[in-house]
Chain A
Amino acid sequence: MSDPLRDALRRNALMTDVLAEGYLPSTDSALQTRIGEAMRGVARRRRRHRYVLGAGLAAALAVALTMPSRAPLPGAPALPPPVPVATPAPTFLIVTTAAAAPVFETVSTSTASFLEVVRTAQLIGPLERLRDEELLATGGVMGLVGHPGGVRRVIVTTHVQHRFLE
């Protein structure tokens, strides 16, 4: 061993012993215990975080993979049946369907009037398919006022008891 290295080692030994006369962390078991506990806590949190992250990713992956072939949930609540809407009995030419359940209102007219006016904002297939001329030719229908997309007024004669549903 070379002299400079030997001298360095001896000086280092003296320095170590000199410093060891006071506080030395390597002999501080309380500090070592405290830091060791902190390390274990950090490692636990790191593991838990990794586990949660992994579980989340796995769940997301599973959902993504099974989504296309997924059946409805067995416990899912059934949709309520559709509320039946009372529709008047057809007494005249049926130009709409009951299933469409159109919203309409009867416009009040003079008691002396021989017309009944029904107003609706809906456009329903059969009526659309009919031309004004055809409506007028079906009997009872005296006129149709309005335009496609807007409020229509269907005017029918009163002696035929009906409502013209649109």
Chain B
Amino acid sequence: MDVRAMTRGIREGREDAFDAFYSGYADRMYRYLLVSSKGDEERGRDVLQDALLRVVRHLPPLDAPEDLWRYLVTIMRSSLVDQFRRRSRNPGSNVASPEPVDRPEERANDRMYALLDDALAALPIDDRRILEQHYFQGASQAEIAGRNESSLKGLAMRLSRLRRRMRDFILEGLRRE
């Protein structure tokens, strides 16, 4: 579904338009918010919900994907700032200030991928090799399991564990900024 049909469909309350929007943009928005909220997942989820509510309430008809993303970024920044103000009024809260409002998405993405590289580099050599074989050399899990003399299930669990470790590394890196 193109952006034109999607944005108009959401304004009309059409389910298919909303589903297309949600599946196409929710994860991307959350990734942006993770960087903007400096790895604070709880805050990222709160702001995502707030931003999505604002989107379905106020989304104008748009024609181009870049226009839609620009609109979403504006909404997310606004939600971030509002949430920061709300939490600042709460004396018990400890919340980092939002990223500068003029930070482009490209920079946020660059930061995420830089942290991904760092996380990969920080892994022990055997673990890193497994991930590189699977993701960068296109080897299937069965092939890698055969090379490492492990079961397929064992390899899947190992891959999952490594990805979790990398995720924690990335979020920790964002928090440190």
Contact = CB atoms under 8 A, between A and B. Distances in A.
Interface of A: 7, 10-11, 13-26, 28, 31-32, 34-36, 38-40, 42-44, 46-47
Given A18-B170, A34-B49, A39-B18, 11 more contacts: A11-B113, A11-B116, A13-B135, A14-B131, A18-B116, A21-B167, A25-B29, A32-B22, A36-B15, A38-B57, A42-B57
A39 B20 CA distance: 13
8 contacts: A13-B135, A14-B135, A15-B112, A19-B31, A20-B163, A32-B22, A39-B10, A44-B13
B160 A21 contact: yes
Contacts of A31: 26, 48-49, 52
Q: Which of A19, A40, A46 has the most CB of B within 10 A?
A: A19
Top 6 A-B residue pairs of the complex, sorted by shortest distance between their CB atoms:
A43-B13, A25-B26, A39-B56, A14-B135, A21-B164, A35-B52
A78 B131 CA distance: 94
A113 to B, nearest CB: 90
A23 B41 contact: yes
Contacts of A38: 53, 56-57
Interface string B81-112: 00000000000000000000000000000001
A20 B44 CA distance: 15
A31 B18 CA distance: 12
B135 A35 contact: no
Contacts of A10: 135-136
Contacts of A15: 112-113, 116
Contacts of A46: 11, 13
Interface in B54-90: 56-57
A34 B56 CA distance: 11
A25 B30 contact: yes
B23 interface: yes
A43 B23 CA distance: 20
A7 B136 contact: yes
